[in-house]
């Protein structure tokens, strides 16, 4: 596991994008996938981002941590449905 003091996080830019501002304006379809036990970004932050976003949007809650989302059939089926529904 990499913590906030780990090498990966030191390489991130200091100024981060204001996602809430971006998603509160017209944008392409967005699918937010987040694990309830993510120890990098809190689940409540993902919910806050989703709530502030305007349509088109979809939220997928997974009972996983930060990197476990690709291991479930729910993720794959949601991605297929999202792509088909939005003509991507």
Answer with the residue of higher pLDDT: 8 or 23: 23
Please indicate, yes or no, if residue 39 is contained in any of the structural domains: yes
Please indicate, yes or no, if residue 21 is contained in any of the structural domains: yes
**Model confidence, pTM:** 0.72
Please indicate, yes or no, if residue 70 is contained in any of the structural domains: yes
Please indicate, yes or no, if residue 48 is contained in any of the structural domains: yes
Please indicate, yes or no, if residue 10 is contained in any of the structural domains: no
Answer with the residue of higher pLDDT: 4 or 65: 65
Please indicate, yes or no, if residue 32 is contained in any of the structural domains: yes
How far apart CA 21 and CA 27 sit, in angstroms, is: 11
pLDDT at 87 over 60: yes
Number of neighbours of residue 49 by Cβ within 10 angstroms: 20
Please indicate, yes or no, if residue 59 is contained in any of the structural domains: yes
Cis peptide before 56 (omega within 30 of 0): yes
Number of structural domains, the chain? 1
Cβ atoms of 31 and 78 closer than 8 Å: yes
How far apart CA 44 and CA 32 sit, in angstroms, is: 12
Radius of gyration of the chain (CA): 14
Question: Each residue of 15-60: pLDDT tens digit?
Answer: 577 888 988 999 999 999 988 888 888 899 999 999 999 999 999 9
Please indicate, yes or no, if residue 71 is contained in any of the structural domains: yes
DSSP result, 6-58: SHHHHTS-SSPP-HHHHHTS--S-EEEEEETT-SSS-HHHHHHHHHHPPSSEE
* Host domain of residue 32: 16-85
């Amino acid at each position: 596991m990499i913590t906030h003091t780990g090498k990966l996080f030191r390489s991130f830019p200091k100024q981060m994008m204001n996602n809430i501002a971006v998603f509160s304006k017209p944008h392409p379809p967005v699918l937010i996938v987040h694990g309830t036990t993510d120890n990098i970004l809190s689940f409540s932050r993902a919910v806050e981002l989703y709530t502030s976003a305007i349509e088109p949007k979809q939220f997928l809650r997974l009972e996983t941590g930060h990197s476990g989302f690709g291991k479930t059939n729910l993720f794959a089926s949601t991605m297929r449905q999202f792509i088909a529904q939005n003509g991507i």
